[in-house]
């Protein structure tokens, strides 16, 4: 989850370097931008990141715990990796076959793994993804104890529940989180992570407070007042929070960063050929982030309870929300500069590209910006759209500053820039090249929840990659107002959103506003007017007179509410049904792209198996991981229909997930999730 600098992290009370980090961070960005803004022709490379939870299984007592042996496991993996890399270099092993890389994550029970080298745009490489994910899991297992296993659960159902949930046991709380429920020992001990936790809490002025609606089952008390919250316990000053209303009735209350950053996701990063293509991809993928959050929904259980939502995203948003009361608009501004509508971990608030398909009306949500930073960027020649993006990201303070790293050479370092950039955890991330590298401009797609099996994770990774190819080849246009993308984001969290929610989506994905202008322009238009119009579409702001007069359809006509099935699988106009409409669907678009490519039959069949999973998830023929987990819990013999996920249920769930991950399906378990698809597995 970001840069691991070494040194002494400053506690919040001594962190006086916010302006220094911002100013130098922007200078560092400008150095990178000047050096790379005109670079063209970078290869279309990409990579995925898989996050794992290491569980420790106590078969005797039927308990699944989170193993806190991250450091030991990573150390063993590192030694193995360096030995293998040496061999690979000596024997010139092709990049695609090289050993994957493991990284630490926030939770001391977490691991993250990436392919050893980026994948290319080739179809062969697509077929390597699942194998590579398999290999990562197998290598991880080889470096664990025999009772440990790396599961890819997005949220651990009993994290923070009463009793023991970590191995070894530590009693809850600690100076960093001051949590009622989580021990600080669960946080990665690298100085960055406890400091992030403590400084977020201190900057905010209180513990974070996350309240998820409880899933009201047949015997859940109503109102539900959680008996596991120590309302009367007071160790630290903040402990008055729960009592004073931070913990809501009918909700699952969580009070620490670990509940969010202790979740697992699947992220995909693409290298674009140049900065403009990266901006375009960023914009086209942003409206897809809630769609793929809903489709990958995998986190229905929290702190020992079933919740009435299926996704992790808003839990993480709440868990790192360092905004003060002034910034949250609770108190008038006095010590802070801005009222900020969103957490640092949230959806994007600004489109970046200004191609012909862009209309200013798409950027329709308030963008809080640091005007001085914007001016610095503009004075250096950065265009308005990109300057606004960074002027927005840089409204945040650096949360962790290492005293040894305050002074840097802005021409060669990007440390201050990355400090702010990498703690803006948004649905998309626009990534400039690291200084001095041959890496290009990249975008990261960050909303997806991790799936239980490598097959599913490969399917989602591959589908997103194929979508980027389709977007670029077919010049697709997914623009719609960001306020609608944000509404989709809220709805994506809802229980069974895939089946029950409708999402805003652009109706005509082939039109750009440019072509609309051409279609609607009359024959009497002079050449001068037509040029003005196309200039208008890329340059003007919503208030420009020229824009008001141009004959584009109202923005509201460009999008409509669609079901997940319609967005992914398409819809047909039915004669006599005025509400029906024609929409190509993302899967058919990907299929027609593949039809246009020279692909051998075997490759195509194997790609189809992945695409089919996405299609069947969207149509409801297969269930999401969230639905699978909820059903598993509710049909467990020990479940009392009171929303409680007991230790025994949790253990059986984790065992079941372990078996599914290993490719075992038995008595139909997993059939509704995977549809009987058996993939190559090496575990
Ligand atoms: N684990 C976080 C999530 O579930 C992401 C952390 C990261 O950016 O690597 O979204
Ligand atoms: Mg990560």
- Closest by CA to 445, choosing from 418, 425, 459, is 425
* Domain boundaries, position 42: 17-467
Three-state DSSP at 633 gives helix
d(CA 12, CA 400): 8
Beta partners for 561?
504
Pocket test for ligand 1, best of 153, 264, 296 (most atoms within 8 A of CB): 264
- Cis before residue 486, ω within 30 degrees of 0? no
Q: How many independent structural domains does the chain possess?
A: 1
User: pLDDT grade, residue 121 (50/70/90)?
Assistant: confident
Pairing label, strands 46-58, 110-114: antiparallel
Amino acid 245: pLDDT: 80
- Residue 454 in domain: yes
- Spatial distance between the Cα atoms of 611 and 366, rounded to a whole number of angstroms: 37
- Asked if residue 577 is part of any domain, the answer here is no
Distance (Å, whole) CA 632 – CA 649: 9
At 70-119, the pLDDT tens digits run: 999 999 999 999 999 999 999 999 888 899 999 999 999 999 999 999 99
pLDDT at 648 over 90: yes
At 17 the three-state DSSP class reads coil
Which pLDDT does position 490 carry in this prediction? 98
**3-43 pLDDT, tens digit each:** 566 788 999 999 999 999 999 999 999 999 999 999 998 99
What DSSP letter does each residue of 540-584 carry, written as one string? --TT-HHHHHS-PPPGGGSEEEEEHHHHHH-B-PPTT-TT---B-
Residue 220 has pLDDT above 50, yes or no: yes
Would you state the structure tokens that stand for residue 243, as one six-digit string?
Answer: 């009592």
Question: Over the chain, what is the mean pLDDT?
Answer: 91
pLDDT score of 546: 47
1 lines ligand 1 (CB under 6 A): yes
Q: Quick check: CB of 263 below 6 Å from ligand 1?
A: yes
Q: For ligand 2, an ion, list residues with CB under 5 A.
A: 1, 112
The minimum-distance atom of ligand 1 relative to the CA of 447 is 10
Tens of pLDDT, residues 511-543: 865 555 554 333 333 333 333 333 333 344 444
pLDDT in tens, 346-362: 999 999 999 999 999 99
| Distant-in-sequence, close-in-space partners of 120: CB < 8 Å, separation ≥ 6 | 43, 44, 45
**Greatest CA span in the chain, whole angstroms?**
84
Residue 658: closest CA among 668, 647, 670: 670
Question: Which residues on neighbouring strands pair with residue 426, listed in sequence order?
Answer: 346
Residue 241 pLDDT greater than 90, yes or no: no
User: Tokens 């269930």, residue?
Assistant: 623
Tracing tokens 């159902």 back to the chain, one arrives at 157
Q: Cα dist. 656→264, 665, 666, 670 in Å? A: 18, 9, 10, 9
**483 CB burial (10 A radius; 0-12, 13-18, 19+):** middle
Q: Which atom of ligand 1 is nearest to the CA of 105?
A: 9
Residue 536 has a pLDDT of 37
Give 198: exposed, middle or buried? Use CB within 10 Å, 0-12, 13-18, 19+: buried
Question: CA geometry: angle at 535 spanning 530 and 541, to 5°?
Answer: 125
Residue 61 lies in a domain: yes
**Residue owning tokens 């360092």:** 322
Pairing relation of β-strands 63-67 and 166-167?
parallel
Beta bridge partners of 443: 270, 430
Ligand 1 atom nearest to CA at 312: 4
- The answer to the question of residue 615 being in a domain is no
- Would 585 be classed as within a structural domain? no
In this structure, are residues 398 and 370 in contact, taking their beta carbons and an 8 Å threshold? no
> What's the 112 CA to ligand 2 centre distance in angstroms?
6
| 665 inside domain | no
Q: Please say whether the beta carbons of 292 and 281 come within 8 A.
A: no
Sort strands 502-506 and 101-104 into parallel, antiparallel or unpaired: unpaired
The CA-CA-CA angle for residues 464, 470, 471, to 5°, reads 90
Asked if residue 420 lies in contact with residue 25, where contact means CB atoms within 8 angstroms, the answer is yes
Candidate of 47, 51, 314 to mutate for ligand 1, largest count of ligand atoms within 8 Å of Cβ = 51
Cα(238) to centroid(ligand 2), Å? 29
Closest CA to 189 of 70, 74, 103, 76: 70
Any ligand 1 atom below 6 A from CB of 48 = no
Place of tokens 């890389």: 101
Give the model's confidence band at 173: pLDDT under 50 very low, under 70 low, under 90 confident, else very high: confident
- Residue at 644 is within a domain: no
Q: Whose CA is nearest to atom 8 of ligand 1?
A: 1
Q: Among 266, 424, 425, 625, which is best to mutate for testing ligand 1, by the most ligand atoms less than 8 A from CB? A: 425
| Atom 9 in ligand 1: residue holding the nearest Cα | 1
**Cβ of 425 less than 6 Å from ligand 1:** yes
* Closest residue by Cα to residue 520 from 553, 543, 493: 553
238 has a pLDDT exceeding 70: no
Q: Is the CB of 316 under 6 A from ligand 1?
A: yes
Q: pLDDT, tens digit, for every residue of 452-468?
A: 999 999 999 999 999 99
Q: Kindly report the protein residue whose alpha carbon is nearest to atom 6 of ligand 1.
A: 1
Cis amide bond preceding 168, omega within 30: yes
Ligand nearest to the CA of 311: 1
3-state class (DSSP) for residue 503: strand
Centre of ligand 1 to C-alpha 448, Å, is 10
Is 439 part of a structural domain of the chain?
yes
Residue nearest ligand 1's atom 10 by CA: 265
DSSP 485-500: HHHHHHHHTBTTHHHH
Q: Is the CB of 51 under 6 A from ligand 1?
A: yes
Residue 80, Cα to own-chain centre: how many angstroms?
29
Which residues in 230-387 belong to E strands, given as ranges? 251-254, 266-271, 301-302, 305-306, 345-346
Provide CB contacts within 8 A for 232, sequence distance 6+: 243
CA–centroid distance, residue 72 to ligand 1 (Å): 22
- Residues 116, 224: Cα–Cα separation, whole Å: 48
- The domain that contains 110 carries what CATH number? 3.30.590.50
For residue 239, what pLDDT is reported? 65
How far apart, in Å, do the first and last CA atoms of the chain sit? Answer: 27
**pTM for this one?**
0.94
The number of the ligand nearest the C-alpha atom of 104 reads 2
Using alpha carbons, select from 173, 159, 444 the residue that is nearest to residue 316: 159
**What is the reported pLDDT for 550?**
56
Question: What is the per-residue pLDDT across 60-75, written as a single tens digit (0 to 9) for each?
Answer: 999 999 999 999 999 9
Per-residue model confidence (pLDDT) at position 329: 97
pLDDT of residue 218: 97
Tell me if 265 CB under 6 Å of ligand 1.
yes
pLDDT at residue 4, as a whole number: 61
- Residue 2: pLDDT band (50, 70, 90) is low
Contact present, 383 and 279 (Cβ < 8 Å): no
Percent of the chain with pLDDT over 70: 91
With beta carbons less than 8 A apart as the criterion, state whether 302 and 210 touch. Answer: no
């Amino acid at each position: 989850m970001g840069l691991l600098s070494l040194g002494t992290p400053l506690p919040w009370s001594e962190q006086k370097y916010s302006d220094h980090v911002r100013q130098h961070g922007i200078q560092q960005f400008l150095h990178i931008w000047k050096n790379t803004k005109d670079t063209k022709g970078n290869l279309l490379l990409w990579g995925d990141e898989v996050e794992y939870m290491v569980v420790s299984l106590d078969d005797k007592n039927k308990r699944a715990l989170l193993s806190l042996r991250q450091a030991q496991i990573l150390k063993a993996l590192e030694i193995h990796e360096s030995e293998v890399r040496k061999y690979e270099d000596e024997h010139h092993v092709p990049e695609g076959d090289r050993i994957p890389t493991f990284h630490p994550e926030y939770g001391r029970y977490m691991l993250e793994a990436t392919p050893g080298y980026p994948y290319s745009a080739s179809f062969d490489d697509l077929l390597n993804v699942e194998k590579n994910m398999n290999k990562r899991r197998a290598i991880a297992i080889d470096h664990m104890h025999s009772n440990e296993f790396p599961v890819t659960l997005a949220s651990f159902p009993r994290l923070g529940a009463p009793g023991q949930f970590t191995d070894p046991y530590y009693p809850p709380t600690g100076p960093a989180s001051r949590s009622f429920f989580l021990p600080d020992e669960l946080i990665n001990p690298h100085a960055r992570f406890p400091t992030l936790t403590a400084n977020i809490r201190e900057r905010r002025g209180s513990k974070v407070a996350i309240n998820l609606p409880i899933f009201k089952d047949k015997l859940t008390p109503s109102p539900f007042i959680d008996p596991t919250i120590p309302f009367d316990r007071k160790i630290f000053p903040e402990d008055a929070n729960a009592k004073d209303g931070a913990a809501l009735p009918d909700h699952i209350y969580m009070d620490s960063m670990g509940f969010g950053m202790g979740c697992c996701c699947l992220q995909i990063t693409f290298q674009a050929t140049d900065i403009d293509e990266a901006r375009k991809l960023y914009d086209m993928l942003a409206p897809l982030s809630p769609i793929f959050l809903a489709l990958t929904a995998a986190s229905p259980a929290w702190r020992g309870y079933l919740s009435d939502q299926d996704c992790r995203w808003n839990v993480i948003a709440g868990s790192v929300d360092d905004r003060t009361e002034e910034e949250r608009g609770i108190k008038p501004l006095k010590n802070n500069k801005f009222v900020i509508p969103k957490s640092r971990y949230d959806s994007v608030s600004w489109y970046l590209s200004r191609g012909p398909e862009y209309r200013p009306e798409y950027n329709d949500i308030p963008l809080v910006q640091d005007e001085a930073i914007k001016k610095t960027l503009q004075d250096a020649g950065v265009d308005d759209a990109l300057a606004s993006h960074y002027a927005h990201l840089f409204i945040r303070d650096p949360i962790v500053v290492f005293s040894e790293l305050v002074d840097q050479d802005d021409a060669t370092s990007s440390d201050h820039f990355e400090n702010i950039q990498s703690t803006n955890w948004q649905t998309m991330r626009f990534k400039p090249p690291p200084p001095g590298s041959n890496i290009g401009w990249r975008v990261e797609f960050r909303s997806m929840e991790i799936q239980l099996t490598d097959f599913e994770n490969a399917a989602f990774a591959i589908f997103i990659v194929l979508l980027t190819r389709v977007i670029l080849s077919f010049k697709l246009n997914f623009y719609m107002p960001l306020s609608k993308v944000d509404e989709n984001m809220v709805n994506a969290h809802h229980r069974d959103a895939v089946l029950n929610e409708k999402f805003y989506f652009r109706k005509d994905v082939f039109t750009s506003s440019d072509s609309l202008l051409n279609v609607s322009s009359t024959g009497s238009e002079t050449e001068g007017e037509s040029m003005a119009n196309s200039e208008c579409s890329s340059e003007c702001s919503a208030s420009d007179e020229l824009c008001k007069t141009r004959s584009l359809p109202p923005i509201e006509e460009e999008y409509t509410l669609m079901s997940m099935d319609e967005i992914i699988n398409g819809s047909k106009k039915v004669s006599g049904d005025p509400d029906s409409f024609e929409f190509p669907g993302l899967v058919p678009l990907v299929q027609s792209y593949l039809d246009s490519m020279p692909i051998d039959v075997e490759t195509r069949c194997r790609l189809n198996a992945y695409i089919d999973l996405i299609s069947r998830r969207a149509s409801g023929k297969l269930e999401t991981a969230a639905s699978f987990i909820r059903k598993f819990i509710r049909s467990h013999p020990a479940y009392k229909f009171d929303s409680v996920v007991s230790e025994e249920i949790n253990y059986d769930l984790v065992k079941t997930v372990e078996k599914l991950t290993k490719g075992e399906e038995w008595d139909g378990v997993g059939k509704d999730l995977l549809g009987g698809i058996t993939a190559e597995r090496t575990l």
